[in-house]
Structure 1
Amino acid sequence: MKYEIKGGQLPVVSCTLEKNESIVTESGGMCWMDDCFEMETSTRGGAMKGLMRAFSGESIFMTAYTCTKDGGNIAFGSSFPGRIMPVKLDGSKSIIAQKTAFLASEEGVELNIHFRKKLGTGFFGGEGFILQRLSGQGVAFLEIDGDLVERDLAAGEKIKVDQGYVAFFEETVKFDIDTVKGMKNKLFSGEGFFVATLEGPGKVWLQTMPFSVLADRIIALVPKK
């Protein structure tokens, strides 16, 4: 498979496949395609796996598009302003991503739900409670809110992040939720009561404009009767 990412703040990834190659996306993810693709929609692993995947922000059903001749083109577009990030998986490591990050992938990539086990993360983590785990082999395309900043954390190195700004990270990175210290900070800083802590070793990718933040700012500007 060859691919090219086009567009500005509302990008599309255009994929060119050879005969018998397949690409998988969530239900409704395809933008356009040549008349040489066969579609097969399924839960990809059974109804329970489909339901679990729905908790991570994706649809219960996934659709595989298989090319029937060499050079077939198919495209998948971002659903909000930002970037499309290609991630190459080689089977040795998994990637943990925010909810709704998955856009499309080669068939060798596995998409599963990822729970945080820590109680505090579960109740207060927001974006950090239910995540997406991508494993296996192949290229996956992720939707990023706004732009992207990469951090390479050394062993024991920590950063604190508003959890909505965490795009994805390597599975070696520890993710937890900490309480913001000081009552005045909690009430008046605008950061809320909790902040995500990421600890290395491993790479972390941060997004600059979470869609939830953008939506809140737009709503705040809408005139109220």
Structure 2
Amino acid sequence: MNIQPGQDLILQKSAFLASEVGVQLSIHFSKRFSTGLFGGEGFIMQRLSGCGIAFAEIDGDVVTYDLQPGQQLVVDTGNIAGFTSSVQMEIRQVPGLKNKLFGGEGLFNTVLTGPGRIWLQTMPVSGVAAAILPYIPTRSD
């Protein structure tokens, strides 16, 4: 990821791997209580600022979106790898009882509102664990 002056990047917790000297790593606190409580990533994320190239751990493939002002994208929280600091993040409850019971995606979604760039990961670590779990041998007594 290329960090530009004046445009901080917000990453999922513990995603930072390495960077050039001009990049500063700090903590980012979610501004909304509901985002921290129900957002999966919690209140604390990572903020990259300064200027230079940074490397982040992202699971699966990366899908990049450039949101226009006011444009929104609804995603599962676990698929958010990062976003520019100009993007607003909000947690919303999934509407409808049928969706909550039979939707298979949980009770909450994340709404990202532009302007800015977002990076989504196609396979969060929870998905990797669920995919390999059936193949892990268990000890039978």
Amino acid at match of 2:129: A
Q: Which residue of 2 aligns with 1:143?
A: 57
Q: 1:186 aligns with which of 96, 100, 121?
A: 100
Q: Partners of 1:221 and 1:146 in 2: how far apart?
A: 19
Q: Partners of 1:112 and 1:220 in 2: how far apart?
A: 38
Unmatched 5+ residue regions in structure 2? none
Q: Partners of 1:127 and 1:221 in 2: how far apart?
A: 28
Q: 2:33 aligns with which of 106, 119, 131?
A: 119
Q: Partners of 1:215 and 1:177 in 2: how far apart?
A: 24
Amino acid at match of 2:43: F
Unmatched 5+ residue regions in structure 1? 1-86
SS at match of 2:89: strand
Deviations 1:144-190 (A, max 9, x none): 11101111111111010001111111111101100001122112211
SS at match of 1:110: strand
TM-score (norm 1): 0.58
Amino acid at match of 2:80: V
Amino acid at match of 2:111: T
**Pair 1:205-2:119 in alignment:** yes
Q: Tell me by how many angstroms 1:220 deviates.
A: 4.5
CA contact (8 A) 1:128 1:163 kept: no
Higher Cα Rg, which structure:
1
Q: Per the alignment, do residues 181 and 141 of structure 1 end up closer, same or farther by CA in structure 2, a change over 3 Å counting? A: same
CA contact (8 A) 1:109 1:140 kept: yes
**Pair 1:100-2:18 in alignment:** no
Identity of aligned residues (%): 53
SS at match of 2:41: helix
Q: Tell me by how many angstroms 1:116 deviates.
A: 0.8
Q: Which aligned pairs between 1:1-225 and structure 2 lie closer than 5 A?
A: 87-127=1-41, 129-222=43-136, 225=140
Which fold has the larger relative contact order, with Cα–Cα distance below 8 Å and residues 6 or more apart in sequence? 2
Q: How many residues align?
A: 139
Q: Partners of 1:220 and 1:190 in 2: how far apart?
A: 19
Q: Partners of 1:161 and 1:204 in 2: how far apart?
A: 11
Structure number having the greater strand percentage: 1
Q: Partners of 2:135 and 2:100 in 1: how far apart?
A: 24
Kindly report the root-mean-square deviation, in angstroms, between the aligned alpha carbons of the 2 structures: 1.5
Q: Partners of 1:96 and 1:147 in 2: how far apart?
A: 18
Q: Partners of 1:208 and 1:132 in 2: how far apart?
A: 20
